[in-house]
Every structure is written in C-alpha cells, then in structure tokens.
Structure 1
C-alpha cells in the first residue's frame, strides 16, 4: 500500500473516531458545552440544551459563560488564568426569562453543579473552556428535607419533656462518656452540657446503686433494650429517681446506649407511702392484739383470784370485780376504736343528725369513771346547756370519750380536773374547749400528734389511737381541731384542745 493510501486510511479512521466521539458527546445524559476563550459557547450536546430549556444550538451560542450572574468575579479571574473552577447555584428560569438573559422553556427554579476547565490546542495556548453541568435539584431537595428533618429532630430532642441522652459504651460493656444530652437533662440535674461531656457517666450513680447499674448495662448489652428504674445524684447532691427506657445502638462500629429518662419521684413516694402504710397497719394489728391479750389476761387473773382464793373478803372480791370490769371496758374502748378505723377505711357513711353536747359529755363521764376506778375524775362542764346541739352522728360520743380519756391517762395525779366550755360564734359555729392540767404537749409535736399511728409508735399501746380517731371524726364533721397551752408561757402546765363544729 502506497504512502498516500496509508494517509487516506488514517484520515478515514480519524473521521470515524471523531464521529464516534461526537455521537457519544451528543447522546450523553451528562450536559457538556464548549466555549471559546472569550466565553461564547460554540458547542453543546442535547443534554445541555434540554437542561437549559433551549430549542437549538443557535440559542446556546448567544450565551457567554462570563455573563452568568451566578459566576463570581473571583472565579472569572481564575478561569482567565487557566485555572479550573466549580460552583453550585440555584437558577430561577422565570426570572432569567423576564430579565431577558435568554429564552428558555424551563420554569421555576433548579439547582446546578457546574464544572468549568480551560482547554488548550497547543501546549501554552488557551483555546477555550469546557463545561459540565449537572442538575442537582433532586439531590439538593433531598438534602434540604434531610436537613429540615434533622432540625426538627434536634428541636424535639432539645425540647422534650423527658430527659434524653446518649452514652458511648465499650465492647466490654463499660460506660465511656456522654456524647449528647438534651436541655431537660441539664435542667433536672443542674449540670451543663459541657460538664456532662467531660463527666464519667457513673459519677451520676450513687455508690449504693453502682452494682445495680452495672447489672442493668449487662442486660442492655444482651437484650438490646431495657426499661428499668434507678436513682441519680444531681449537682446539688439530691437523689432523683428515674424510669429509664434504654436502647443499644451500633454506629460506625461503635456502641452507644440511647436513654429516655422520666422523673418518677411522685410514683416512688406513693409506693413508699403505701409500703409504710402496710408496715404501720401490721404494727397497729400487733399492738391491738397485744393489748387485747393484756386485758384478757388481767380479767382472767382477777376472776381466778376471786374463784380460787378461799380467804378473800367481800371488799377484796368487790375490788377485783371492779378491776375486771375496768379491763373489759378498756377492751371495749379499744375494740370501738378499731371499729371506727375499719369504718373509715371502707368509708361507711353515717347519717348526720342533731347531737346534744351535754348528753355526749355526760355519757363520756360515766364511762371514764369505770375506766379509771383508781382515779378521782372531776369533769367541770361550765356553760353547756341542753340547747347546745351540733351536726354530727353516732360516733361523736367516741370523739369526746377519746379526748377525755387522753386527758385522764396522761395526767399523773390521782385527782384529775378537766374543764369544758363552749363559745358560740355568729356564723352558726361553736368552739369547744377541753382544758386539762396534765403534762402538756410540746409545740413541735402538735402537728404530728394527730397523724396516723403517731401516738402508739411513741407510747407503744393501742389506746394511743384516740387522737387519730378524734382528728378523723373532726374532719368528717367538716370541723377543725387545734391545741393551745393552758399557761401561755409554759406548755407543761396543761393543754387546751379546741374543736370548731357546726351548730344546729
């Protein structure tokens, strides 16, 4: 083959190669465009025409890349110096058309990623610029939605009513560090976020609960989640009970525990109060049983003495029988108190009616004389008449008896003097005053003395339930009860119980 024929073949192959490249160039889904060194576009494939909404190449050739309003002056200088650039921008095609920048069939806004690089014909002679344009609208929208979602999640995280925090954990199940805490966590504990991030997580756990915390972590590592309760120590040193919902997370080969914590102080206090109430009821039943046994033993002893002692005199026999009756009456009083407590527990309703104060005090006086046969009881009812009546029920007599029994029992003298008076108010209420000369009640004990079981805890006997019964019934009658000193300057000189009641 001659030299001319070889040249023809090479030219033909070159034309085919160029034709193939142009075909790829024109059919490529990626938008390509070429501009001369002045910036005017001279070539562009179908993808770039579609991307810009241009009808044909002639419309593209009217555009100059240096006139792109999104191209910064700094990037223009770099291009003219032969440096490649890239930038992203949002193009409002409606606005571009209105301002006459170019005719386009596209509407609304689109985001483009643009890459421009100078190209050379000879080694040092710049011939123009090659551009690649990528429509990144969908990606940008997805990124914006993701960012918006992240912002919402962050907002929810920071403003959640519950405490939320994340702790990094080692492969061995050891707590490494806090990596994130929300504002509620800081608010509850008093620690700032920065303090948390620099704090060993176990510093929040009380020493007596460290073992329990370690066991909890092991379960989370095994199961992947756990709901549990634990206490933490706040910055001011107080203990805060929390319910934790914990989940194990794996991110980039690291392990984390995501914890949502809820403050449960009220729940814990309610549970503790219920547990204490159960213990108190158990103690109460033990004491009541003990007192019943004592009264029964005493009564049986007195009866046995009368039956078995052949030398007993009539006077001694009478005395033993009186003591037996006293023990039985005390048992009856204790049983009555127990009945009232049971009625209170099951909320048995009694019908309110008109109750004579004078009759109630007279009934109580008779029982007192039988209860305390070794004492002389002087009950002075000063200004109460048969006309003085209040709104109460059949349990009111027990209220009066318990108050008077309390006054007699804690007066160490053999002669007990109690003064009773009434003050009628203009609002159809009255104040009963029961004044004794006993050892008095310290001011610091006056609030708690009416509390449930407070007296029998102190004195160790069921008869001490009396004042709790009194307070229970006063509340039932929508009244009030309080304590004053008989001597304003010395509480040990005696006590005045005052009760506000509703008159008929």
Structure 2
C-alpha cells in the first residue's frame, strides 16, 4: 500500500507528459503519422495520426488505424513506396515527395520526412507530411514563365540573327559598291583632269587670267575628288581584306612607320619619341596604317608657335593593351571630340588644311577590326591624345 502514492504520482506525470505530447502532436501544422514497420520492410498500419492528417485526408481516426500509407497514396505513385522504404531502412531517415489522395479522391502533393526508431522492441516509422500544393503551383508558374521567357529569347535571338545577316549582307554590298564605284569614278576624273590640263596647254595664248583661274579651280576640285575616292577605297578595304592575326612587335612596326613618314617628319622638324612598346597578336600592315594615320594627323594639325612633339606609349591592362599617341598640336574643341571619327567629317576648310576627313575613320575601323576601342582627349590649343586598345589575346 505504501507504494500507492508513488504509483499515483508516476501515473499523473505520465498523463501530463502524454497530454503535452498529444497537444503538440495535434497542433502541428503538418500531418504526423506513426506506422509499424512490417517484416517485409514496408510501413504497415497506422498506430497514430494527428488532427491535421484526419482533416486533410477526410478519414476518421478509427479508419486510419485500419489503413497503411499505401492506402493514402495516389494509385499512380504507389510504385515509389518500395524504393522510399529501402532508403529509409538503410539510412534510418528519408525525405521524398509523393502524392496523397483524400477519401474524396483529391490529390495533394506532399513532402515527407520519415524517421525510424524502436519502441518496445518494435520498429516504428514517424512520417511528417507537409502540404506543398502552393509550392508546386509556384514551381509550375515559374517553369511556365521560364519556358515563355526562353521562347521569347529564342524568337528574339532568331530575329536578331536575321537582322545581323541582313546587316552583314548590306555591309558587304556597300563595301563592294564602294570598291567598284571608286574604280569606275576615278577613270572619268582622270580624263577630266587630263583634258583640262591639255586645254590649258594648247590654248594658253588665247586664255585670259580668269580662264586660267577657272581651269585651276576645276583641276583642283577633280584632284580633291580623286583623293576622296581613293580614301574611300582604302576605307572599304580595311574590313573586306581577310587577315590572320599573328604576333607583332609594335616597336618595330612604329620604326617602319616613322621610316615611311620620314619626309613629312623632316620637313616639319617633328620630334617623335616613344616608350618601350609590347608584342601583341595582330596584323602588321593594319597596325602600321593605324600608327601612320594618327602620326600624320598630328603632323597635319601641328602648331605654328612651337616645334611638333609626338610621344607614343602603351600600358598593359587586365585583358588588353592601351596605346596612346600624344602631341602638342592645335588641339580639338571638346564639342567636336564625338564626331572626329565620322567618315568625311572635317573641322577645317580645305584652304586651312588639305585632306578628305577620312584618316581617323580608317583608324577607328582598324581598331574595331582588332576588337578594341579608340577615343581622344583634347583641348583647343593644348594638343591631343589619341588612345586605342587592343585585346591581349
């Protein structure tokens, strides 16, 4: 009899623990079920189920106690039970997605977290099933959105490819036209110039000063047009010529360029200096033409008040080399820096400075052929610095 108070105390504590367990068990947001594991390794009948499981699937508590997990899984998903049970037996835990089916036949996608434990020598499976209906809807919507986006990207890419092909064909046609037109136009120009000069020579005693001046203007205009056509031909050939890039010593290219420009350099007492220049992957002729156009530009737009100085340098950056050609010439107004690389764009009259306004456009086209960029920094009367980059291949 003296043990009765202890027994009553233990029973009271056990009831309190069970009440707490039942409260947590039934107030969980996820379905919780306990199943005896069968000798075949598959979960057997339910030995307990919480309130949310009963409400979600529509079976009574007593009905659950006469059912197995196979009875609440959608028929087309029951073939997955064995594989999930094998993983649970091996690891002692398993997480997987499956479809539950309610008493009324409604399908509910769930994520199941299974754990094995022993109780009184029996293996028990604890299954916590979370309703992932909203997640699946979101995943489906996201998948559809991605598919639509991929379709739009594919359509847009196809459209862009067509535009690129059209532009490529258009550019090729324009380059071919420029090449053909340049050759065809130069011949009649030469004829005009020749006949004007022949007219001047044969009838010089019969012409007055005005006639000589008119002939001179006509010849000068024909020569200028011939120079423009020649430069246009050169411009069209920059991209049309197929070139194979090789290692190029830019310092040697610059030396060869200065040799080509020796006459104008000497005539203008220009001082050309340079820092050590790198070896790059490029094209020797194109790089020489690039240097020649930029240095010639500095010589042309030299200042009358000081001797011309031009300095060439290069620095290695992350994925490229950045070259600079700096001079102390007349400079360029900041308002005009954006347009100086436009073909036939001139900032001065032909009487001030001879030329066709195509040299810098050719320089830009060459740099773009290399895959680089070109720009200028300048102030009126303070000289100019032309920068261009060449990728470090």
TM-score (norm 2): 0.40
Higher strand share: 1
Higher helix share: 2
Structure of higher CA gyration radius: 1
TM-score (norm 1): 0.32
